A and B are shown apart, each in its own frame.
Chain A
């Protein structure tokens, strides 16, 4: 049974782990991670869930702007234009995997994305002036077609087009390069000049192709962004934003870990782009409605990157912080207690390698059941609690997965969410308990047997005969 399962999961993990595009999407998203976390700090400062503070930052004027709006510039420059970083990052990674010049991959990806992006859109207007500069009264709800870059497309809504553009444009670019259709320079020309000339023809061909694609979309009376958003991004996000998808993804993730395969990186390669997009949509909504209006009823997604990072597991895959508590407080064998003590500090910050490989969880059928059961329970109960409105869904603010439990819940939802994390943590302890106790009993018996035979388990290393070695 175990062998059969591994025969299915092993090749699957290899296929996903070696897929160039999934690697590129994963690494491309990583480019923006430090920016998103840094931006989150400013976003939290602007929206910290204490009313006196939010009033203070909103009313403190610096020049003609409030401190709140100045703080939010940092999140505008990170979250709101996140798709720019992702498109660039993915283009860069694919070019790297293709052995092209990465930086050209990044700019070619951006260029093709901008070619498809509509530069004219409808916007609400708040002030209007005639040709002489005299202000005209603006009627309520007035809007006009304006030119520019739209935040929506630069952020979450443009993400999928960005992924597609980055992959296709850089693949095309590398293909032209491989064909040898490049301008070659004589020896002695500086390498940067050589690179920029050799990029000329491939970039030109990519531009022409995307010009034609855009032409087709316009001829059909639409644009690539609206099209992809409506027919690919929305359905895919809809599919990802379900309890079923999340549970199935996490069962797979933990099965991978059982065979010693880093499940997070395999499942994340497929699932994270969807979760990231959902989180970005959540954040847009949160910033629009504020903490008071942010709810499932108003369109917030329950499933998102933060839901996965902060509510599915505590202390790493398998929610092993619960297991650790069970080990420390309810187990008696020396071995389990020692491992528990050793793993506690890393465990609080979501790192559980000592347990995964030390207990071990890997290939240990006794622990497999709670290892899958506890995260599933966390997901289902958190989902239901958010769905019932006990506390709001995660607000999309990028909180690193290493943030300790309860604090992370408070920052991402509210004090009720933090409390709920605590309850789940304790529930997990009870699920793990019978299983770890089984192991504990076995170890205790072994330890007692060793003590009875007056022969301790430890072997004396002081009386070794080292003379002829």
Chain B
């Protein structure tokens, strides 16, 4: 069973609206947010959510380096096999946070870390898509969310198993 950590903002975690930006950094073993909708894809790929970590985008902006360091340390402490940061839809700040978290985890812990966002986040995508896998997802309320969630789970499983993911990434990532 592959152990997956989810990284959310306050909205995806169900801990606040877009105005509740100061939700503190929290981690829970409960399966919350989009991971609930991912259940059958996780099962199909022999994956299990071990924890979900989240904070408000305002909390992250106050000290980005510290928040990213803590998320990275948590992935290490829990012994995660892979980390999914998203889906971020077209939320700009969450996308930036997700990309930074994925990059830090990949570079420092050498485990697969995947971000997932929509094409609206052009700046983040152009800055990070060479370094980390960014799975394509629709903007909020558009077609294709289910597919994006499935792609995230699938890509994570392949990467954890050290398979060649070049073709898959071409197909489902930016």
Contact: B142 with A464, CB < 8 Å? Answer: no
Contact: A339 with B144, CB < 8 Å? Answer: no
Contact: A357 with B12, CB < 8 Å? Answer: yes
Bound together, the chains give a CA A455 to CA B141 distance in angstroms of: 37
Selected contact of B77 from candidates A17, A342, A455, A465, CB within 8 Å? A465
Contact: B36 with A360, CB < 8 Å? Answer: yes
Q: Chain B residues near A353 (CB, 8 Å)?
A: 11, 17
Contact: A461 with B70, CB < 8 Å? Answer: yes
Contact: B29 with A364, CB < 8 Å? Answer: no
B interface residues, how many (CB within 8 angstroms): 39
Q: Chain B residues near A261 (CB, 8 Å)?
A: 141-143, 145
Q: Chain B residues near A195 (CB, 8 Å)?
A: none
Interface residue B57 (Cβ < 8 Å from any Cβ of A):
no
Tell whether A362 pairs with B37 under 8 Å between CB atoms, given A14-B143, A262-B142.
yes
Which of B29, B51, B69, B72 neighbours the largest number of chain A CB atoms within 10 Å of its CB? B29
Q: Chain A residues near B72 (CB, 8 Å)?
A: 469
Interface size class of A (residues with CB under 8 A): 35 or more
Selected contact of B73 from candidates A446, A457, A465, CB within 8 Å? A465
Bound together, the chains give a CA A359 to CA B141 distance in angstroms of: 16
Q: Mark B110-139, 1 if CB is under 8 A from A, else 0.
A: 000000000000000000000000000010
Tell whether A446 pairs with B30 under 8 Å between CB atoms, given A6-B146, A461-B25.
yes
Tell whether A342 pairs with B17 under 8 Å between CB atoms, given A450-B29, A464-B73, A464-B77.
yes
Chain B min CB distance to A392 (Å): 34
Contact: A459 with B51, CB < 8 Å? Answer: yes
Selected contact of B146 from candidates A17, A259, A335, A338, CB within 8 Å? A259
Tell whether A265 pairs with B141 under 8 Å between CB atoms, given A458-B26, A464-B74.
yes
Q: Mark A249-264, 1 if CB is under 8 A from B, else 0.
A: 0000000000111100
Q: Chain B residues near A1 (CB, 8 Å)?
A: none
Interface residue A13 (Cβ < 8 Å from any Cβ of B):
yes
Q: Mark B2-39, 1 if CB is under 8 A from A, else 0.
A: 00000000011111110010000111111011101100
Q: Which B positions have Cβ atoms within 8 angstroms of A?
A: 11-17, 20, 25-30, 32-34, 36-37, 51, 53, 69-70, 72-74, 76-78, 104, 108, 138, 140-146
In addition to A342-B17, A458-B29, 16 A-B residue pairs with Cβ atoms within 8 Å of each other are A10-B143, A17-B143, A260-B146, A262-B142, A335-B30, A353-B17, A357-B12, A357-B34, A358-B12, A358-B13, A446-B30, A459-B28, A459-B53, A459-B78, A461-B27, A469-B104
Question: What are 21 A-B residue pairs whose CB atoms fall within 8 Å in the complex?
Answer: A6-B146, A10-B144, A11-B143, A259-B143, A259-B146, A260-B138, A260-B145, A262-B141, A262-B142, A338-B15, A342-B17, A358-B14, A446-B30, A450-B30, A457-B28, A459-B28, A459-B29, A459-B53, A459-B78, A461-B74, A464-B70
